[in-house]
Chains A and B, each alone.
Chain A
Amino acid sequence: MSDVQKSKGADKKSLPLFFNISFKVIFIIVLISSVLLYFTFTFEEVPPILNRGIQPATFPKALLILIISLSLIVYYLSIKVPWNIEKKLPNSFYITLASFIIFSVVSVTLDFFLGISVLSVIVSFFWGERRIFYLFLVAIIFPIIVFIFFETILGLRFPGGIITNLYYN
């Protein structure tokens, strides 16, 4: 369920423009859309004889202009009815987010399944699991089951790594 709730008149005088959450969100959307819009001008153009209806850049350009325009309308409406975000994000969110980064690094540099195991143990531990058996279950036993399942039933070959290569070799 969304955390955003609109409440008439809420928080109107407390925050200056640049600290307003709706301003930040819309600013990011418009900024990214503008950068992408800039890139559409770098797309190759096709000669008229090959051009089927419109140039390849036209459609994405139209979409990005639509997104920017609608975002500005959303911001205008948010001035009248400000967004009210219910609560700050807890530490467990940032730890989970960091575990994604750790997973990415470990799976590329060491081993794909080691990455899954590391993420599982971090998430499970910081979400409150302290029992060794259950940590072992999510970090070791379950990834092994998943590996065997995908490997034997779907015939999938996972990227090599310090652990996976032991199996493949």
Chain B
Amino acid sequence: MENLSLMLAPLLSSKLMIVLIFGTLFGLILGVLPGLGPTTGGALILPFTMTLDPLSAIVLLTAIYCAGTYGGAITAVLINTPGTPAAAATCLDGYPLAQKGEAGRALGMATVSSTIGGIFSVVVLVFFAPLLAQLAYEFGQPEYFALAIFGLTMLASIGEGSPIKNLIAGAFGILISTIGKDFMTSIDRFTFGINELSEGIGFIPVVVGLFAISEMLTQSTLLDQIFNRVALKAVKLPSISDYKKTWITILRSSGIGSFIGVLPAEGGTVASLIGYSEAKRWSKNPEEFGKGSVEGIAGAEAANNAATGGAMVPTLALGIPGSATTAVILTGLIIHGVRPGPDLFREQPDFLYGIFGAMLIANVLFFIFGFFGAKIFARITLVPNKLLWPMIFAVSVCGTYSLSQSILDVWIMLFFGVIGFFMRRYGFSVVPVIIGLILGELVEGTLRQSLVIFEGDWLRFLTRPIAVTFFILSLIALIFPLLRKKKSNE
């Protein structure tokens, strides 16, 4: 009961409500614009959060996360282009239904299922995050090392694209985290005599570079792309027969999305694809999928929004991000001096339940804005790229510069923008780089501290049951996609 009142605290604070409304609107705009999304948007707005108190800052980022994930559906339905990668599966049935003159119905179904999925995942977050945090009290350095390895292998395994390329990208991210003074011995690594590199490479220049700048370069190759827009009159709430058809799908996808979200991977994207394929597998009318099935829309949208709450579980309970956007939120927590993990649950329950409550309210807010304002948000897609991307560049450069007032950060951002473009072109996902960068210090620090505890004897990892379990799971995570690929080749 006490926790419930803590969760409702944002409703009673006018400042938090303003932040929530702004975050939701901003998230919707980011979600609607193809190429942008909650990760890039969160990274761009991170410098501005320094003017806010920690709770308001994280509330802003989580509102952007929830609303941005939903916003991608509007573009997916109306112009057959996912506003965010997580909305890719929504195109499959959303656009065909819109082409039949039922864009309002398609968006209504996407809005309702996104909201239910999002709220479901917040409930999962409220119940499971404290349990996981409780479990984390049992963790020492070796267990955290094994957990971080498990996180990275899962990312490689169920992320998009080739698992081996994902592993290379993850290792690259960890390698970036080793730049600067070694935190244990203060010895310079990869600084090449540049003093500013002694502090290491900041997270924001890398994220903005890998997402915003590389996307700008990608957009420069797509100038001849033509979007076929479908007109939208108004969003319609699903009919009773639509609800009857889809309620099981929405619940199933909400469960799938929450579960996938908890695993460290590309959360919403993978969740929506699995949610969609499961919806098709269990449907009584699988032949309608791909031709405008409301079940398909519900399956994908409930899953991708359910992944938002799920991905916050390991982020808050263990300090291990469940997705690229939660990696940005984790950075927000760290730069505001909040250390995620079990102690956060014990020492700052008001902060934590404030975030839970904010996520819940953000889901309701994007339902309202989405329902009444989808037509307006859809018009944002009319802003031409030739005007939009120079503006995003200006904000990216100034935002990146603002954190440390260092011009070197701007060069790093541009460098990673070019790297990110070529990585994506040749099939390497950039998300593992971000997660690797975030987890890098944890992986190396816990490994070295474990070896101090074990007096340099690596085999003593095997005497820790929880660590061994994570290692075995990591091995399974690595072998499983290879077996699956071999089977599919056969």
Most buried by A among B164, B167, B391, B450: B391
Partner pick for B51 among A71, A123, A153, CB 8 A cutoff: A153
Q: Which stretch of B215-223, B282-290, B308-316 is in the interface?
A: B215-223
Closest to A44 in B: B187
Q: Is the interface of B mostly helix, strand, loop or mixed?
A: helix
B55-63, B130-138, B326-334, B396-404 - the one binding chain A:
B396-404
Chain B positions within 8 Å of A137 at CB level: 387
Partner pick for B405 among A87, A104, A121, A157, CB 8 A cutoff:
A157
B187 and A53 contacting across the interface, CB-CB below 8 Å: no
Q: At the interface with chain A, which of B8-16, B258-266, B317-325, B418-426? A: B418-426
- For A100, the chain B residues whose CB sits under 8 A away are 414, 417-418
* B390 engages A154 (CB within 8 Å): no
Q: C-beta contact mask, B404-416 vs A, less than 8 Å → 1, else 0?
A: 0101001100100
**Given contact pairs A52-B185, A63-B171, A93-B217, A2 touches B394 in the complex (Cβ within 8 A):** no
In the complex, the answer to whether A70 meets B426 with C-beta atoms within 8 Å is: no
Measured in the bound complex, the distance between the Cα atoms of B185 and A143 in whole Å is 43
Interface pair A138/B448, CB less than 8 Å apart: no
User: What is the chain B residue whose CB lies nearest that of A101?
Assistant: B414
Ordered by A's residue number, 21 sampled pairs between the chains whose C-beta atoms are within 8 Å are A3-B424, A3-B425, A3-B426, A21-B426, A29-B168, A53-B452, A56-B184, A66-B167, A70-B168, A70-B171, A85-B426, A90-B223, A92-B223, A100-B414, A120-B391, A127-B386, A127-B389, A128-B223, A137-B387, A138-B390, A146-B394
Q: Is the CB of B394 within 8 A of A142?
A: yes
- A12 vs B395: C-alpha distance when bound (angstroms): 45
Q: Does B178 contact A (CB under 8 A)?
A: yes
Interface bits A87-127 vs B (CB < 8 Å: 1, else 0): 10110110111001001100110001000100111011001
B395 x A96 contact (CB < 8 A): no
CB–CB B168/A116 < 8 A: no
Contacts of B217 in A (CB 8 A): 93, 96-97
| Residue pair A56, B187 in contact (C-beta under 8 Å) | yes
Pick the contact of A71 from B168, B174, B385, B398 — CB < 8 Å? B168
CB–CB B189/A60 < 8 A = yes
B172 at the interface (CB under 8 A from A): yes
Q: Do A53 and B390 touch (CB < 8 A)?
A: no
Contact check, A154 vs B51: say whether CB atoms are below 8 A apart.
yes
Contact in complex: B389, A154 (CB < 8 Å): no
Are B223 and A127 in touch, CB under 8 angstroms? Answer: yes
Contact A156 B164 (CB under 8 A): no
User: A54 to B451, Cβ gap below 8 A?
Assistant: yes
Per-residue CB contact flags for chain B residues 184-197 toward chain A (1 = under 8 Å, else 0) read 11011110000000
A132 interface residue (CB < 8 Å to B):
no
Known: A59-B444, A63-B178, A104-B414. A138 touches B171 (CB 8 A): no
A96 and B216 contact, Cβ closer than 8 Å, known pairs A56-B185, A63-B175: yes
In the bound complex, what is the Cα–Cα distance between A116 and B182 (angstroms)? 35
Q: How large is the interface on B (under 10, 10 to 19, 20 to 34, 35 or more residues)?
A: 35 or more
B349 interfacial contact with A, CB 8 Å: no
Pair B189/A43 contact, Cβ less than 8 Å: yes
> In terms of DSSP, what is the predominant structure of the interface of chain A?
helix
Residues of B within 8 A of A (CB): 47-48, 50-51, 161-162, 164-165, 167-168, 171-172, 174-175, 178, 182, 184-185, 187-190, 216-217, 220-221, 223, 384-387, 389-391, 393-395, 397-398, 401-402, 405, 407, 410-411, 414, 417-418, 424-427, 444, 447-452, 456
The 4 A-B pairs at the shortest CB distance, nearest first, are namely: A53-B451, A4-B427, A53-B448, A120-B390
B394: chain A residues within 8 A (beta carbon)? 116, 120, 142-143, 146
Inter-chain CA distance A158–B417, complex, in Å, is 22
Chain B residues positioned under 8 Å from A31 (CB to CB) = none
The reply to whether B178 and A60 form a contact with Cβ atoms under 8 Å apart is yes
**Which residues of chain A have C-beta atoms less than 8 A from B444's C-beta?**
59
A95 to B451, CA, bound (A): 51
| Interface residue? A50 (CB, 8 A) | yes
Check A119–B390 contact: CB distance below 8 A: yes
Contact with B along A49-92 (1 / 0, CB 8 A): 01111101101100110110011011001000001010101101
A146 touching B162, Cβ below 8 Å: no
A36-B190, A60-B190, A129-B384 known; A4 vs B393 contact (CB < 8 Å): no
